[in-house]
């Protein structure tokens, strides 16, 4: 990668919590979204861009390889965590990437306590993991409509 490529930090959950606290003290609106982000596609980009528009700083939680395999099966992820975070860290919409090894981002959401929690349109507000925590803390849960025809699973199925 060339030196002029903007790379956002990839940090652990403890450092993310500290950073979120600093941002909150300076009056920034903190946004959080998460996913596996295996084979990044236009649907992912839409959620990330729309999420970033909802605040001042976007944290993106990314499932580790072991977590993806538990959720999606033994043949996933297609790309390693290192590859997935490298791609995400180069996107303008992403301010910080935070890997997590649990099956859900609940612990990470509890540490960061975002003002806005964003998920794709295959969720409803009441089904978003961490939504209750964010709402209880005075935040908002937002759903971004999906772009039809884009999913990692369908991309993999088409290639087989």
Q: Name the nearest CA neighbour of 86 among 120, 117, 113, 60.
A: 60
The H or E element that residue 86 is part of is: helix 81-89
Q: What is the CATH number of the domain that holds 108?
A: 3.40.50.620
**What's this model's pTM, rounded to 2 decimal places?**
0.89
Number of domains in the chain: 1
Question: Of the given ranges (14-23, 37-46, 47-56, 108-117), which has the lowest mean pLDDT?
Answer: 37-46
**Distance between CA 16 and CA 93 in Å, rounded?**
17
User: Could you tell me which of 26, 27, 25, 47 has the C-alpha nearest to residue 36?
Assistant: 47
The answer to whether residue 96 is domain-embedded is yes
- Structural domain includes residue 120: yes
Alpha carbons 152 and 156: distance in angstroms, whole number: 6
Within-domain flag for 2 = no
Question: Quick check: 112 and 33 in contact, CB under 8 A?
Answer: no
Q: Is pLDDT above 80 for 142? A: yes
pLDDT in tens, 62-120: 999 999 999 999 999 999 999 999 999 999 999 999 999 999 999 999 999 999 999 99
Q: What is the pLDDT of residue 149?
A: 56
Asked, for residue 4, whether it belongs to a domain, the answer is no
| Residue 28 lies inside a defined structural domain of this protein | yes
């Amino acid at each position: 990668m060339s030196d002029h490529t903007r790379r956002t930090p990839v940090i652990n959950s403890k450092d993310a919590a500290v950073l979120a606290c600093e941002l909150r003290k300076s009056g920034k609106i903190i946004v959080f979204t998460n996913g596996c982000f295996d084979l990044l596609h236009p649907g992912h980009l839409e959620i990330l861009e729309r999420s970033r528009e909802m605040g001042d700083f976007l944290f993106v939680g990314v499932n580790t390889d072991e977590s993806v395999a538990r959720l999606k099966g033994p043949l996933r992820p297609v790309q390693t965590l290192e590859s997935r975070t490298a791609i995400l860290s180069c996107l303008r919409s992403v301010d910080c990437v935070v890997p997590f090894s649990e099956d859900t981002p609940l612990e990470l959401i509890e540490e960061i306590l975002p003002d806005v929690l964003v998920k794709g349109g295959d969720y409803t507000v009441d089904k978003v993991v961490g939504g209750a925590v964010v709402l209880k803390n005075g935040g908002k849960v937002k759903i971004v409509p999906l772009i039809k025809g884009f999913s990692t699973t369908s991309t993999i199925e088409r290639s087989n």
